[in-house]
Amino acid sequence: MDNRTYNKLLRVMRALGERGFALLVGRWRVLRHTTASPSRIGDIAKAALVLTHFEHGYLPR
């Protein structure tokens, strides 16, 4: 894989991650101003992602 291909893949993956985080932060107000410990924030974000996927029909009901 050459450098241009690697950089393009990296940009695509980063854009997906940033879009997902923006969706979570926009949808779940608790993620905007949380003061929880970093380990708990991960758990909260995982739960919010599952609920968001369920809401948008990405998970079986």
- Is residue 36 a part of any domain in this protein? yes
In a domain, 22, yes or no: yes
Question: Looking at residue 49, what is its pLDDT?
Answer: 80
Q: Is residue 61 part of a domain?
A: no
Amino acid symbol at 8: K
State if pTM tops 0.75. no
pLDDT at 40: 81
> How far is residue 11's CA from residue 14's CA, in Å, rounded to a whole number?
5
Residue 43 lies in a domain: yes
Q: Give the total number of structural domains in the chain.
A: 1
Residue 60 lies in a domain: no
Q: Which one, of 28, 18, 30, 22, lies nearest residue 51 by Cα?
A: 28
Q: Is the pLDDT of residue 9 over 80?
A: yes
Range of the domain at 33: 3-55
Q: Looking at residue 3, what is its pLDDT?
A: 92
Residue 30 forms part of a structural domain: yes
Measured distance CA(42)–CA(23) in Å, rounded: 15
Express each pLDDT in 45-57 by its tens digit: 888 888 877 877 7
Question: In angstroms, rounded to a whole number, what is the distance separating the alpha carbons of residues 4 and 14?
Answer: 15
